[in-house]
Amino acid sequence: MLRSLLISLSQNNTMRGIMERSAPGRKLSSRFVAGLTVEDALRVTRDLNAQGFAVTADALGESVRSEAEALAAADIYHRLLDGITTARLNANVSLKLTGVGMDVSPELAERTTGDIVAHAAHEGNFVRIDMEGTPYTEATIALTERLAQQYPGSVGTVLQAYLFRTADDTARLLQQGIRIRLCKGAYKEAGDVAFPAKSDVDANYVKLMQTMLPSGVFCGIATHDPAMVEATERFAAENNIPRSAFEFQMLYGVKRELQRELVRKGYGVRIYLPFGTDWYPYFMRRLAERPANVLFLLRNLVSN
Ligand code: FDA
């Protein structure tokens, strides 16, 4: 019940306005969000790099409604890419198509994303196009394919283990050498497109991981689930898959001990680092994933 409440609150604009403007709101979010500006993201990236983590930085923002907003969001990515190059950081970027204009028009999103990928390719860097809800799945994959043809190796996307279609999409992208981040999936989806039971999602996650690891295409295993991590470590060891063939990816602030342990073991670990003023929906989805976080954060707020 708390999970559904948190998901509906994540879409509530009044709460969003109050939280984003208030100092306690910003303080609460700092566990999962790097800060408000590109400079904040670069500073935290430098710290994470020093601890042995790679980073993918995400300028928070979803469902922008005007061309001006989409261009402003794209500009943040251009500054971020320049900052990463100048400071020689071990980081790439992640973006959401709705954050760079998809709901204004698919053509606008293609233009803004294409410019960001061209910039990344010029810097020898990489853009990950995050996956959103199913209304966007096909468009996201198709756009990634078009950009990957123009800028091979500089763009990839995300597939979600909860969707029935993902086994086919995995084959489709691997065949073209396009990098995949595998995650379980964070959106509310209907039973005719997605596995409703966690056990089925987990079983599919393992099956997809076992397809991706030996494919020769570098892939991101994005999960905090110790069972998924263990299954990946075991499968890689049993099949002599080198550590250079994949990396683990986890969200900033989530399962930090597991993140450190994997670095100690010598695995590549990339931290997904969100930043920006539009942090509220992202933050609320993280609370919904683990409602115990609400208590943890409230306790922190009171005790500091
Ligand atoms: P699961 O939900 O089973 O959690 C396993 C354990 O991890 C929990 O028991 C808990 O201990 C811990 N945990 C999980 N979430 C936590 C939290 N918020 N706080 C504290 N502990 C937590 N989704 C999507 O639809 N599109 C995308 O593009 C991405 N991108 C992405 C990038 C990266 C790097 C990651 C790690 C995840 C995503 N996701 C995503 C989100 C993903 O789909 C999923 O919702 C979350 O990762 C939670 O699933 P887990 O695999 O962690 O397992």
Q: With 90 as the cut, is the pLDDT of residue 300 above it? A: no
Q: Are residues 108 and 238 in the same domain?
A: yes
Q: With 70 as the cut, is the pLDDT of residue 154 above it? A: yes
CB 68 within 8 A of CB 42: no
Q: For ligand 1, is residue 218 a contact (CB within 6 Å)?
A: no
Three-state secondary structure of 92-147: EEEECHHHHCCCCCHHHHHHHHHHHHHHHHHCCCCEEECCCCHHHHHHHHHHHHHH
Q: Are residues 97 and 213 in the same domain?
A: yes
pLDDT tens string 27-42: 777 888 999 899 999 9
The reply, when asked if residue 160 is annotated as ligand binding, is: yes
For residue 65, the CA-to-ligand 1 centroid distance in Å is 27
How many residues appear in the chain? Answer: 304
294: tokens are: 């609400």
In 3-state terms, the chain is what percent helix, strand and coil (to 5)?
55, 15, 30
CB 164 within 8 A of CB 191: no
For residue 271, the CA-to-ligand 1 centroid distance in Å is 12
Q: What is the mean pLDDT of residues 266-292?
A: 87
Q: Are residues 183 and 56 in the same domain?
A: yes
Q: ipTM value of the model?
A: 0.96
Q: With 80 as the cut, is the pLDDT of residue 147 above it? A: yes
Q: What percentage of the chain carries pLDDT values higher than 70?
A: 97
Q: With 90 as the cut, is the pLDDT of residue 4 above it? A: no
Give the closest residue (by CA) to ligand 1 atom 51. 223
Nearest ligand 1 atom to the CA of 286 is: 18
Which pLDDT belongs to residue 303? 47
Q: Are residues 71 and 25 in the same domain?
A: no
Q: Are residues 3 and 113 in the same domain?
A: no
Q: Are residues 108 and 188 in the same domain?
A: yes
Give the closest residue (by CA) to ligand 1 atom 21. 254
Q: Write the CB contacts of 30 (distance below 8 Å, at least 6 apart in sequence).
A: none
Domain with 245, as residue range(s), is: 38-275
Q: Cα separation of 164 and 189, whole Å?
A: 11
Give residue 304's pLDDT band: very low, low, confident or very high (50, 70, 90). very low
Which pLDDT belongs to residue 299? 67
Q: Cα separation of 64 and 97, whole Å?
A: 9
In this predicted model, which residue has the larger pLDDT, 19 or 76?
Answer: 76
Q: Are residues 136 and 196 in the same domain?
A: yes
Coil, strand or helix: which one is 297? Answer: helix
Q: With 60 as the cut, is the pLDDT of residue 213 above it? A: yes
Give the closest residue (by CA) to ligand 1 atom 5. 225
pLDDT tens string 83-106: 999 999 999 999 999 999 999 999
**Which H or E element spans position 159?**
strand 155-160
Domain count, the chain: 2
Nearest ligand 1 atom to the CA of 133 is: 25
Which pLDDT belongs to residue 141? 98
The Cβ of residue 84 has, within 10 Å, a number of other Cβ atoms equal to 23
Lowest mean pLDDT among 4-13, 262-271, 272-281: 4-13
116: tokens are: 């960001």
The Cβ of residue 289 has, within 10 Å, a number of other Cβ atoms equal to 16
- Which residues form the catalytic set? 130, 181
For residue 86, the CA-to-ligand 1 centroid distance in Å is 31
Q: Are residues 65 and 196 in the same domain?
A: yes
Q: What is the pTM of this model?
A: 0.93
Nearest residue to 222 (alpha-carbon basis) of 287, 280, 289, 165 = 289
CATH, residue 217: 3.20.20.220
The reply, when asked if residue 186 is annotated as ligand binding, is: yes
For residue 293, the CA-to-ligand 1 centroid distance in Å is 13
Q: Are residues 78 and 133 in the same domain?
A: yes
Which pLDDT belongs to residue 302? 53
pLDDT tens string 40-92: 999 999 999 999 999 999 999 877 899 999 999 999 999 999 999 999 999 99
Q: Are residues 23 and 85 in the same domain?
A: no
CB 125 within 8 A of CB 92: yes
Q: Are residues 123 and 79 in the same domain?
A: yes
Q: Are residues 217 and 298 in the same domain?
A: no
